[in-house]
Structure 1
Amino acid sequence: MTTISTAAAPAPTTPAASLDLDGVSRWYGNVVAVNDVTMRLGPGVTGLLGPNGAGKTTLLHMMAGFLAPSRGVVTLDGEPTWRNPAVYRRLGLVSEREAVHTFLTAYEFVLASAKLHRLPDPAAAARRAIELVELADAQDRRIGTYSKGMRQRTRVAAALVHDPQVLLLDEPFNGMDPRQRLHMMALLHSLGDAGRTILFSSHILEEVEQVSGTVQVMVAGRLAASGDYRTIRRLMTNRPHVFAVRSTDDRALAVALIAEESVTGVELGGDGLTVRAGDYGAFTRALPRIALARGIRVRSLTPEDESLESVFSYLVGS
């Protein structure tokens, strides 16, 4: 592993929480979903980044006590989360799956969550949570009439109604329009600044950059990298890249590129060049300079390995 204007959130009423994973694995038969993950989450916002199928949801469900680790242990302030209902007094979860009763209003849905937590004033708690996610104007409408983004905000309100120390969110920005996304990002910032431990998963680096200071990167069930988002961005950008290049004189361009320090390999084929570059930035700056100096027109420059899987997989071997 490589080590590397806001909504008003209520101030925490209890000490900050620590969520710890020690050598955690989870497998289903011969399929390993999570492989030997160790991490410690404290106050603030952490992004769990990785392509779809990386094991993020499985990891979140073990953190929330919904799944037992096949190996290792997950603890909240030293207490195991598995088979320990008491942790739900301090923990809230927004799962990726939409488990909402569409015949209820948002207020009724959040109020039900408040009552399940046996809060002393469930109605007041429900109203506060709904205001936090900016749904007060629509709280008496049935959830079935909501957009996906509004349903997401309703579920976040239900997870926040008991004022948890730890909030886990699985792809929370799915379905939100730009304004809703900005508000949710501001809310998570505010909750983290207030001392809560926030972890949200995403497969989009830009979402993580805008919200979290710390990033945990998962690939194929493994923790591939950990650090602040600048470190993760640099690792992704500075990895080797493969480009398909088409020009008016591929042979002359190939000869010139071989001498370029940032280029690690060139292959000339019937449909153009395949160029391997060790430094993304240096190569993309050098190519137009080289082509211009030799009077060659570059017709196309296409990255051939820009899928999320290829980007993240590089980190495994870093």
Structure 2
Amino acid sequence: MTLVLVSPDRFVRHVPLGFAFRDASDLGLVGDGLEVRIADAERPFRRATLGPTPSGTWMTPRLPGLGFELADTPADWPAKARTFKISVDDPFRRFLPIRFEAKLPVRGRFVWPGWAGLDQAKIAPLLPAGAPAAYKPDYLPLFPTIARAASGPRSTVRAQLAERQADGSDKPCAWAAMTATVDGKIIALGIAGANGSIAAVGSYPALPAQTPAEAAKGRDEVTWTAEIAVHWDDLSEDLPGLDAILGQLSSPPRIALKQLGKDDPLPGQPLTLGRPLTLVSLKSANVRLSTLYLKPN
């Protein structure tokens, strides 16, 4: 990035980093309310706090442990680049925290290398419409918490994910990734918090064709069948890196149980326009639980 001051004299300083964060539910730019910190991976006591610019880019004028003079010599940046750890937290609890690493300094907005290892079809909700093959965004996704209200008309699938243990206790499926697919296309992708609560929020699919009766009288509601997939590798860290969390999408999905204690998988679920969908398992044929259980491996 380049910082330019025009009056009264022209002053140009190259900023050694710039991060952008977007809401995973609608790709809106998140330009305030975050706590973004950076620390040298080898010398964690060297750290700094980033602030947002009016354009929504989070930056700091210098890297921890590297002087201001570095900004005057961008040609030296590749040789001096080293690994930094970045933490992003939201004190307003709109978004889940994320952790990732970056080789810095870098010109322009940072492009996360982890994008290259992900299946583009599975992360479609995190990409702009019509993104070309192998597209790598210059932003990082922030996943909404279950308490965050969706902005505008958005499809919302919520659940409390857990695995029932042999002793009868529940183990939250922390940091699991859940997708909702309609007509073969993933329309929503969410990440569970540390307690297993999750909200996958995305766009609605195209409206299904009307029947002749609906065309004549209108329709009271519009409903699609959504196929739910939960990917959970039981990551052991308190807060895994973003690469590990999204990397779970490459693992086969776990079986979400229609009824606890039986192997019947959760069938396709009715996703109704304008109505959030909450997923649960059954305790018996007519008794609903408050949790969607995954079959133990």
Normalising by structure 2, we get a TM-score of 0.24
**Between structures 1 and 2, the one with greater helix share:** 1
**Between structures 1 and 2, the one with greater strand share:** 2
Max Rg structure: 1
Normalising by structure 1, we get a TM-score of 0.23
Higher relative contact order structure (alpha carbons within 8 Å, sequence separation ≥ 6): 1
